[in-house]
Amino acid sequence: MIEFEAPKPILMLNTALETVAVNMMRPKSRYFDEHEHEIPWDYINFMHMAMRQTGAGSLAPSEKKPKEGESPKEKRPPIGYQQLAYMLERLSWGDCGMYLVTPGGGLGAAAVEAAGTPEQKEKFLARFRGEKPVFGAMAMTEPQAGSDTAAIRSTAVLDPNTSEWVLNGEKIFVTAGHKSLCESEGFVVVWATIDPTAGRAGMRAFVIPAGTPGVTVTKLEHKLGIRVSDTASIVLQDARVPYDHLLGSAEVVKEPTTKGFKGAMATFDATRPLVAATAVGVARAALEELKSILEKQGVVIRYGIPRQKMTNLEREVIDMEVMLRSAWLLVIKAVWMADNKRANSKEASMSKVRAGDIVTKITQRAVELLGPLGYSREYLIEKWFRDAKISDIYEGTGQINRLIVARNILGYTGRELR
């Protein structure tokens, strides 16, 4: 049964996160938007210390043992991904770009969780529990391979003399790539092919630690939004990693359902609802600010009256509230399924599509309804408008996720419906 009331541990965490958002993020939003790529170390160090003390932010589902005298049926369900969804929504309400520099494993850790063995999870994820802030990232996109993952050309070849994997290729648009490789003892999970003739079945994920020879950050992107977050290009030239840095099995079975590609998709099934949660946070920030500005000008939304008696402005605001609520419910359903080990590919993509759609609509409409005030830099609404669009692009574009939803509903394969 899906419950819509947040568990008590999440409610307690929300209060703390809102304090961080109000006092540490919002006051610095404009500064870091104007000083792209400057690293907010005060925020990073504070969040690292806080997460170590509370245990918040872990991707591992937090299933607790039953209390003494408690029957198995009364056992508290896991809330790992639910907790992350609430956490990311609150932090993105504060500042989406700064949320993206919160220390932790990020997509890199999610890939290890999805495709790694128990031994690999312990080996690679332990570093995020240390005394210093550490970052993780995932590198999949290439100059010629965006949404079409089958076009990936980065290669990994096993050296029989050393039992090391030798990787070559170029990755672009790697979120937190620079911090993961250059600012901490983190790693980047690189997707490469071990058998170019096998298509997607030959794809595998490799953990590339910071400091690996042959790995170079070649570029930092200048972006429309989320400007405090670094987005890097990475070149691998004869980069060597030990054999066990390949996540999962090296066996290639030339079918589209093999572990390599499924590992990539499992990563996205877990993280797409979390990206959707960040979009909801940005949309909520814009909508609340819009209502606050309107109230200061004497415009109060009248709830509970017939729609035909409302002003156009009232109808617009209420429609945006409906959009926001519907997106959040889809997020909650998708992360609940992830926590309970239920297949959620359709629901993950549905939440990502809906949230990416509504955040662009709500932030754009907020700018339009406020006119010159919305377009000016007096308020953060114009910044949130710029931050919003990335939610519809990364972790799979809206178009790709719509295809995934359609395939799941209609029962088509990727080859049948493109």
Positions of E strands within 104-258: 136-139, 155-159, 164-175, 187-193, 203-209, 215-220, 231-242
0.85 surpassed by pTM: yes
What gap in Å lies between CA 324 and CA 320, rounded to an integer? 6
What gap in Å lies between CA 418 and CA 405, rounded to an integer? 12
User: Hey, what long-range contacts does 10-17 have (CB within 8 A, 24 or more apart)?
Assistant: 10/79, 10/82, 10/83, 10/86, 13/54, 13/56, 13/83, 13/86, 13/87, 14/86, 14/90, 16/50, 16/54, 17/86, 17/87, 17/90, 17/91, 17/94
Tokens of 148: 């079409």
For the chain, list the domains and their CATH numbers.
8-104 (1.10.540), 111-245 (2.40.110.10), 260-410 (1.20.140.10)
Q: Is 89 a catalytic residue?
A: no
Q: One of 74, 316, 395, 416 is an active-site residue; which one?
A: 395
Tokens of 64: 């607790």
Q: pLDDT 10s digit of each residue in the chain, 418 long? A: 455 678 888 888 888 999 999 999 999 999 999 999 999 999 999 999 998 887 665 544 344 444 555 454 445 556 788 999 999 999 999 999 999 999 999 889 988 988 889 999 999 999 998 999 999 999 999 999 877 777 899 999 999 999 999 999 999 999 999 999 999 899 999 999 999 888 888 989 999 999 999 999 999 999 999 999 999 999 999 999 999 999 988 887 765 444 555 655 667 888 999 999 999 999 999 999 999 999 999 999 999 999 999 999 999 999 999 999 999 999 999 999 999 989 999 999 999 999 999 999 999 999 999 999 999 999 999 999 999 999 999 988 999 999 999 999 999 988 898 8
